[in-house]
Amino acid sequence: MVDLKSQYDKIKNTVDASIQEVLDTTTYINGPKVHEFQKNLENYLGVKHVIPCANGTDALQIAMMGLGLKPGDEVITADFTFAATVEVIALLQLTPVLVDVDMVNMNISIEAIKKAITPKTKAIVPVHLFGRAANMEAIMAIAKEHNLYVIEDNAQAIGANCKFSDGTKKKAGTIGHVASTSFFPSKNLGCYGDGGAIFTNDDDLAHKIRGIVNHGMYIRYHHDVVGVNSRLDSIQAAVLDAKLPFLDEYGKARQNAARKYSKAFENHPNIIAPTICDICDCHVFHQYTLRITNGKRDALMEHLLANQIPCAIYYPIPLHSQKAYADARYKEEDFPVTNQLVKEVISLPMHTELDDEQINYITSTVLAFFEK
């Protein structure tokens, strides 16, 4: 699905030199590279605070701890996402409230959020799924009306823009009260191990979170709050700092590949391809995900794998149907879109190194399946 080796080969000198600096200074934990990367990412995103941590799941958990959410507080999130989002809600003994998504952008449905709000609701967690920014303008308006926190799960959409009706744009992950991201190797900005970060424009929350990631310490060996040990190590920060200047170029490469894929599938009666907006960069294509509408998605997958084309189903089971998160509160009829998407979606290879020959082979193999 990704080609991290070819990407590394092109930036080898930069990445190796950055890692070598860490080896030379032996500052493996909380070294200057972590601080440098943090500052560079703050500038790139236009956000006041980036707090690096160990992975994207920790980032979400720590964001919720920082907001002081308490057991029993209801947190609304999308039914169609990776499990980490709901996992941390459950882990903190908050009450997950899974809601349906939108058929076109596959992100949390605005109407479903409105219907799910109760007096116990404390937060909304939109996920910018597959690299496409959720409708943050509408989500922030609902949050303001009901006095709720918004925690953006930006694991999949770093670099994407959110567009507002007054024409302004802001980076996904800088709009809610707090946001999380993942630097898992295959992410749009990926390190060579695990990594993550929390973003916020709130000075007090940033201060609180900086303590939480470090065992609840603000002064050494003074533990003021219950914390965790969640650090981005200096070698991973060195990789990320070397890759950050390429993030926009990588986003363009993904969008170009997506444009070529979607052109090939244009007007096909059984394929719904994602649309690409040429102006706002609201989709950075962490995944390129088709909907196959003739009921033959699984057969297409077998056909692609038989032709040595990697593909994947993100995600095959709605979260409300997962054993760990099933609950009598959920009714199947509340999730018509997710229930349909899990049967229709298939993701094709998507990365920064896709060339025309690969794209042509993939698209012609997909199209040939429907001509059989």
Which positions ≥6 away from 296 have C-beta within 8 Å?
Answer: 270, 369
Q: Does 158 bind ligand PLP (CB under 6 A)?
A: no
333 vs 327: CA distance, rounded Å: 14
Which positions ≥6 away from 76 have C-beta within 8 Å?
Answer: 97, 99, 108, 113, 116, 117, 121, 123, 124, 125
Part in contact with ligand PLP (CB under 6 A); list of ranges 49-57, 109-117, 137-145, 199-207? 49-57
Q: Does 85 bind ligand PLP (CB under 6 A)?
A: yes
Binder of ligand PLP out of 66, 159, 196, 251 (CB under 6 A): 196
Structure tokens at 207: 């201060």
Q: Does 159 bind ligand PLP (CB under 6 A)?
A: no
155 vs 160, which CB is nearer to ligand PLP?
155
Part in contact with ligand PLP (CB under 6 A); list of ranges 12-20, 55-63, 143-151, 159-167? 55-63
Q: Does 121 bind ligand PLP (CB under 6 A)?
A: no
Give the x-and-dash track for 126-145 against ligand PLP (CB under 6 A): -x------------------
189 vs 300, which CB is nearer to ligand PLP?
189
List of long-range contacts for 99-105, beta carbons under 8 Å, 24+ apart: 99/334, 100/334, 100/335, 100/336, 100/337, 100/338, 101/129, 101/337, 101/338, 101/341, 102/337, 103/337, 103/340, 103/341, 105/129, 105/132, 105/134, 105/135
Binder of ligand PLP out of 37, 80, 184, 369 (CB under 6 A): 184
113 vs 300, which CB is nearer to ligand PLP?
113
Q: What sections of the chain are H helices per DSSP?
A: 4-25, 32-45, 56-66, 84-91, 110-116, 136-146, 203-212, 234-243, 247-265, 297-306, 336-344, 356-371
Part in contact with ligand PLP (CB under 6 A); list of ranges 71-79, 148-156, 240-248, 326-334? 148-156
Part in contact with ligand PLP (CB under 6 A); list of ranges 36-44, 53-61, 94-102, 300-308? 53-61
Question: Which residues form the interface with ligand PLP (CB under 6 A)?
Answer: 55-57, 81-82, 84-85, 127, 153, 155-156, 182, 184, 194, 196
